Amino acid sequence: MKKKDIGSILASANSAGITKQRTFENADKAKRGKPRKSEEEKATQRVCLYLTKQEYSNLTAIAKKDFLGMSEVALAKQVLLKFIENGKI
């Protein structure tokens, strides 16, 4: 029986693609996470609202009771946008 060089065995295995199937090399190259937003989709404009403690607590209560725990900021944003879209201003 003829002895084979380990280097040639590994080289032939690499060229056949056997080692790529059994390693995490391809998994590391996979894209992870959410895709990046385009510049047009990014929210960069700000609107500042000043509320009293009572107004803020009312907003918090409404958000938790009627909107399944939505944050106060998200609720205020949604209400404001709906108000503008319906032409109430």
pLDDT tens-digit profile of 20-52? 556 665 565 666 788 888 999 998 888 899 999
Return all residues near 59 (Cβ < 8 A) that are at least 6 apart. Answer: 51, 72, 75, 76
pLDDT at 54: 96
CA separation for the pair 5, 12 (Å, rounded): 11
Quote the pTM value.
0.51
CA separation for the pair 31, 47 (Å, rounded): 34
CA separation for the pair 21, 39 (Å, rounded): 38
Q: φ, ψ for residue 20 (rounded to 5)?
A: -65, -30
Residue with tokens 């403690």: 53
